[in-house]
Amino acid sequence: MTYIASADFWPMYRAYLASSAWLHRRQLVLARDRHQCTVCGDAAGPFHIHHVSYRAVFDEPLDDLTTACSGCHSWLHMRA
C-alpha cells in the first residue's frame, strides 16, 4: 500500500488504534489466538496485535493480524 508512506499515515494509524473498530477487531484476534502469543505460546501477556500485512490497514481481514507478546512483537519488527 503506497498510502503507508504518506505523512498522514502514522497519525491516522495511531488514531485508528484508539478507535472502537480497532478494539473490536483486536478482541476477535485475541479470541481466535486463544489469548496466546502465536510465536512462543506465552499466555501471560500483555499482548500486542501485530500486522502481518498492512495491505488493508484500517479494514484488516483477521488473517492480516496476529497475537504476539511484547518480546516476540519486538522480534517480529526487528526481523521485518
Interface residues with Zn ion (CB under 5 A) are 37, 39-40, 42, 50, 69, 72
- Beta carbons within 10 angstroms of residue 24's beta carbon: 9
CB of 42 to Zn ion, least distance (A): 4
Considering the complex, what minimum distance in angstroms separates the CB of residue 75 from Zn ion? 8
* CB closer to Zn ion out of 21 and 52: 52
Shortest spacing between CB 73 and Zn ion, in angstroms: 5
Please name the residue ranges forming H helices in the chain.
9-17, 20-32, 70-79
- Residue 11 grid coordinates: 497519525
